[in-house]
Chains A and B, each alone.
Chain A
């Protein structure tokens, strides 16, 4: 590996600072009282407390899954603080009253909290540790009937909607971490697009973990009614600690007839240092339900951070003619581990799904694609195409593919392809012969490698993601 490449991968993490802000943090540990306390702090209705307690009781009966291709010391769930919020000075009336320390934090991160300073046409919900700090452009969105607010706010103001859809895609007992999240989730974003409305701007949530011993358990719920459409972005960072923090989120998407949801993630949690000390455990359950006919859910993810990434954004294609898409770039470096992919469950007739996954492993990292394509017995004419490519940079990393294909209908057509390659000497030589240096050549090759996915990202995100990839890989090839 050349020095150029080495430099490319060894970029320091830029978002690793800690904001010194007074927080209201609940003592570590988990029991029913903690759940009651969270629920009480958030002034929740009884049904939600019951939802939490039931999930917690079920969680107690479950055991931690051991099947993924990742290795980490056992998590002590009693050593985590399940609630941490910046201390409220008083009820905020406008943006100007937000703690200036917080404002500075997000300014440093480049997240616009002031509407006038905001990226044109992107509404942002900002989540700091366990709670939502602010949501921009709320009024403009309300004018067209779009509800976009923090989850706690939605519980207070639109309880009937939350109650109807919460847990309808990812039931509380779905898996170990979903059950844990259902018991202790603190905040998140809620988004509702009524019938026939095309959301006039991109919606975005920015997640930030700040407290060392807290975990982040947020919950996102997006509902698009008949004919509605929305594009949603999610970004995340965390400060640099030498301990591991757990992030176990649940994201639920519901698309009714002809609705269209596009969900994009640029994940840049702190990944730990070069020796694998610290970093976020990103154990997330994301699932979209194409409930209505001709609905469409598209996941795009750029996973560059986290010590361990373990998630499978999935689509359940229930409605006839519904479409599921998954575009992913997962980059691992140093001692990062990723076991990520998707599940496409075809239930309805003529359902279609596309999976494009690009994995890049560098350093001593381990990158796995794990995916499931399941065609149910009634999914006449279902169609799937999957392509999973891996690129290895260096000889100490690993790339794995575990695609599961289960077909129970003979009119379905399923194709899966996977390749593994490295940046060849001959490719670099070709670039050199055209006067393009190694570093630039590598960056061009990688850009070409991930292009199929990046073109799916909304413009601002694509630029950011491209830069992120470049930074992460700087110095790793040659």
Chain B
């Protein structure tokens, strides 16, 4: 490790307000272990295969400081409120803001609360999962997050209960040069159903760092629907790891939309730890200017009869850089696995570029696995068709770009959110005047 990257880690560490020791010894132990790992792990550079295309060095130059206490007005959050949501947890610069949140009442089958409350109420359940699903042994960012584990959201859907209304977990950034480490823990008990909207927004345009970790456990026959929206400022750094553990017949659906951040990195790991599990991962990165959006997904088919479907799209305009690495592993026991992965990349300008690596590793013979990747610009024939219908060149291109991106947005099961995002996509793709 060179001196510069050491400095980065020290700056991140220095920028943290001290985390008081908790009441639970195991939490303190977990943090201490993670801190020890964070100190031992090297800061990733482009020489690491996993970070080959994503140069984090601009992040290493930010001097972080501890966040001031500030609570925005409820009106300031209005643009992001999801009306369908049954519960809302708002975190301002990493801290839970009870005045802006709306927690479910005690009699509902849903438990949604700050992590601290969750640890008190569901101690053993949390202990068995927190820090166990997303391992921090090999990942500096997960280790840092675990070491500074303070506030976070915890959701539990009780066994055999379908929680119809989604839970909105909103992380708001209000000040620059602050590093936050949000944490989300989702527990879907057997046969339960739950929808989580994990949302990152900002009230300013400055640089800050989000280092999020989301752990999701899906018990037998449960279903978790996970919508992740990354709408950070265009100067921000967003590193997020989502790890999902599926037990027998468990299902997981994810819609992950990345619009913001100067540099964003999303790790999404799904472990199919039981037979006959299913996951659908849809992703969209819509970036321009000097943005970089990196998505690394890993689907681990460990047991038989697993299904996975993945569609990841990137639209890169300006001098943007999209990265996709989709790893699918089929272990020797995972017979009858059915996996399909698609990565589609659209380059809108001559300065934009994309690096993609779909990766299949198969150790079982009775499987059906396919992946595909394409990189290109809009089809000349399609543009021509729209022009023949009277649209000018720009309008035709914008419309096609919008359609390309909206395909993913339309898969979000919340109508208001999908509409809101369609509007954003319209604006970003310049297709607005057509709407």
The residues in A between 223 and 251 inclusive whose CB is less than 8 angstroms from any CB of B are none
Q: Are A406 and B355 in contact (CB under 8 A)?
A: yes
Hey, what's the 0/1 contact readout for A396-439 against B, CB within 8 Å counting as 1? Answer: 11111111111111111111111111100000000000000000
A residues near B373, Cβ cutoff 8 Å: 403, 405, 414-416
Q: Is A395 an interface residue (CB 8 A)?
A: yes
Selected from A392, A402, A408, A415, the residue in CB contact (under 8 A) with B359 is A402
Q: Is B362 an interface residue (CB 8 A)?
A: yes
Q: Is A394 an interface residue (CB 8 A)?
A: yes
Q: Are A413 and B372 in contact (CB under 8 A)?
A: no
Q: Are A403 and B366 in contact (CB under 8 A)?
A: no
Q: Are B348 and A410 in contact (CB under 8 A)?
A: yes
Q: Are B372 and A416 in contact (CB under 8 A)?
A: yes
Closest chain B CB from A354 CB (angstroms): 15
A residues near B368, Cβ cutoff 8 Å: 420-421
Q: Are A415 and B374 in contact (CB under 8 A)?
A: yes
Q: Is A307 an interface residue (CB 8 A)?
A: no
With A418-B371, A420-B370 already in contact, the answer to whether A407 and B360 are too (CB < 8 A) is: no
With A405-B375, A407-B347 already in contact, the answer to whether A390 and B357 are too (CB < 8 A) is: no
Q: Is A147 an interface residue (CB 8 A)?
A: no
What does DSSP make chain B's interface, helix, strand, loop or mixed? strand
With A392-B362, A399-B362, A410-B377 already in contact, the answer to whether A404 and B370 are too (CB < 8 A) is: no
Closest chain B CB from A352 CB (angstroms): 14
B residues near A72, Cβ cutoff 8 Å: none
User: Complex Cα distance A403/B372, Å?
Assistant: 10
Closest chain B CB from A28 CB (angstroms): 34
User: Complex Cα distance A390/B328, Å?
Assistant: 15
User: Complex Cα distance A416/B356, Å?
Assistant: 10
With A395-B366, A405-B373, A412-B375 already in contact, the answer to whether A418 and B349 are too (CB < 8 A) is: no
A residues near B359, Cβ cutoff 8 Å: 400-403
**Which 7 residue pairs are nearest across A and B when measured between Cβ atoms?**
A410-B347, A392-B365, A408-B353, A413-B376, A414-B375, A420-B369, A416-B373
Which residues of A are in contact with B by a Cβ distance under 8 Å? 67, 375, 377, 390, 392-422
B residues near A377, Cβ cutoff 8 Å: 350, 353
User: Complex Cα distance A406/B371, Å?
Assistant: 17
With A398-B361, A400-B362, A401-B358 already in contact, the answer to whether A410 and B49 are too (CB < 8 A) is: no
User: Complex Cα distance A422/B373, Å?
Assistant: 22
User: Complex Cα distance A324/B372, Å?
Assistant: 21
With A395-B365, A420-B360 already in contact, the answer to whether A406 and B49 are too (CB < 8 A) is: no
A residues near B42, Cβ cutoff 8 Å: none
Q: Are A417 and B370 in contact (CB under 8 A)?
A: yes
Q: Is B345 an interface residue (CB 8 A)?
A: yes
Selected from A67, A393, A417, the residue in CB contact (under 8 A) with B372 is A417
Q: Is B364 an interface residue (CB 8 A)?
A: yes
Q: Are B374 and A416 in contact (CB under 8 A)?
A: yes
Q: Are B360 and A401 in contact (CB under 8 A)?
A: yes
The residues in B between 318 and 347 inclusive whose CB is less than 8 angstroms from any CB of A are 332, 335, 345, 347
Q: Are A403 and B355 in contact (CB under 8 A)?
A: no
Q: Are B355 and A404 in contact (CB under 8 A)?
A: yes
What would 13 A/B residue contacts be, using CB atoms closer than 8 Å?
A390-B362, A392-B362, A395-B364, A395-B365, A396-B332, A399-B360, A401-B359, A406-B53, A407-B375, A408-B353, A410-B349, A418-B370, A422-B365
Q: Is B163 an interface residue (CB 8 A)?
A: no
B residues near A409, Cβ cutoff 8 Å: 347, 350, 353
Q: Are B355 and A405 in contact (CB under 8 A)?
A: yes
Which residues of B are in contact with A by a Cβ distance under 8 Å? 49, 53, 332, 335, 345, 347-350, 352-377
Q: Are B357 and A405 in contact (CB under 8 A)?
A: yes
B residues near A410, Cβ cutoff 8 Å: 347-350, 352, 377
Q: Are A400 and B374 in contact (CB under 8 A)?
A: no
A residues near B357, Cβ cutoff 8 Å: 402-405
A residues near B375, Cβ cutoff 8 Å: 375, 405, 407, 412-414
A residues near B376, Cβ cutoff 8 Å: 412-414
In this complex, what residue of A is CB-closest to B378?
A410
Q: Are A403 and B365 in contact (CB under 8 A)?
A: no
User: Complex Cα distance A399/B337, Å?
Assistant: 14
User: Complex Cα distance A399/B367, Å?
Assistant: 11
Closest chain A CB from B296 CB (angstroms): 14
User: Complex Cα distance A406/B350, Å?
Assistant: 14
User: Complex Cα distance A85/B358, Å?
Assistant: 46
Selected from B345, B352, B355, B365, the residue in CB contact (under 8 A) with A393 is B365
User: Complex Cα distance A418/B352, Å?
Assistant: 26
User: Complex Cα distance A231/B360, Å?
Assistant: 34
Closest chain A CB from B262 CB (angstroms): 20
Q: Are B49 and A67 in contact (CB under 8 A)?
A: yes
User: Apart from A400-B360, A406-B356, A410-B349, what 8 extra A-B contacts exist at CB < 8 Å?
Assistant: A392-B362, A401-B360, A406-B354, A408-B353, A410-B352, A413-B374, A417-B371, A420-B368
User: Complex Cα distance A409/B368, Å?
Assistant: 33
Closest chain A CB from B324 CB (angstroms): 9
In this complex, what residue of B is CB-closest to A378?
B350
Q: Are B360 and A418 in contact (CB under 8 A)?
A: yes
Q: Are B353 and A407 in contact (CB under 8 A)?
A: yes
With A419-B369, A420-B369, A421-B368 already in contact, the answer to whether A403 and B358 are too (CB < 8 A) is: yes
Q: Are B372 and A415 in contact (CB under 8 A)?
A: yes
Closest chain A CB from B375 CB (angstroms): 4
In this complex, what residue of B is CB-closest to A405?
B356
Closest chain B CB from A384 CB (angstroms): 9
Q: Are B358 and A398 in contact (CB under 8 A)?
A: no
A residues near B335, Cβ cutoff 8 Å: 395
A residues near B365, Cβ cutoff 8 Å: 392-395, 397, 422
Selected from A393, A401, A406, A420, the residue in CB contact (under 8 A) with B353 is A406
With A392-B362, A401-B360, A410-B350 already in contact, the answer to whether A420 and B367 are too (CB < 8 A) is: yes
In this complex, what residue of B is CB-closest to A388?
B360
Closest chain A CB from B65 CB (angstroms): 37
User: Complex Cα distance A136/B373, Å?
Assistant: 47
